[in-house]
Amino acid sequence: MPALARADNPPSVEVPREFHRRMAAIIDAVQVGIWEAGVHDLLGYATDYAFGQERGMQTLVLKSRNRSAYVRLRWDTVTGDDPDNKRLVEAAIQSAINELS
């Protein structure tokens, strides 16, 4: 997403849709990971998202019955396709799985 998106020049609706698709993929990956680790709980989650990189960290709180894990990533990391961003997302997923398992 362009860093200077404003109310008078909003991005395409595809920008937030893609962000939500990617956050949903993170939730799905953690759900599968904890299930495969033997934690058969349905994940709950809460969010604190803000639109665009200038808003800082995007926070996803994942909760099982007895534990919670925070996934905090920058907007550009969540929406980025380069290998470094993908590694950061994968590391956040693995960290959440470890915390919840």
87: left (phi over 0), alpha (psi -120 to 50) or beta: alpha
Q: For residue range 40-65, what is the model confidence (pLDDT) as tens digits?
A: 999 999 999 888 777 679 999 999 99
Is 89 within a domain? yes
Is 9 within a domain? no
pLDDT band at 3 (very low <50, low <70, confident <90, very high): very low
Domain span including residue 70: 14-100
pTM of the predicted model as reported, rounded to 2 decimal places: 0.87
Is 46 within a domain? yes
Distance (Å, whole) CA 48 – CA 40: 26
Is 38 within a domain? yes
pLDDT at 91 over 50: yes
Is 49 within a domain? yes
Is 55 within a domain? yes
Bridge partners, residue 69, by sequence:
62
Is 7 within a domain? no
Q: What pLDDT is recorded for position 2?
A: 46
Mean of all residue pLDDT scores within the chain:
91
Is 8 within a domain? no
Q: How many domains does the chain have?
A: 1
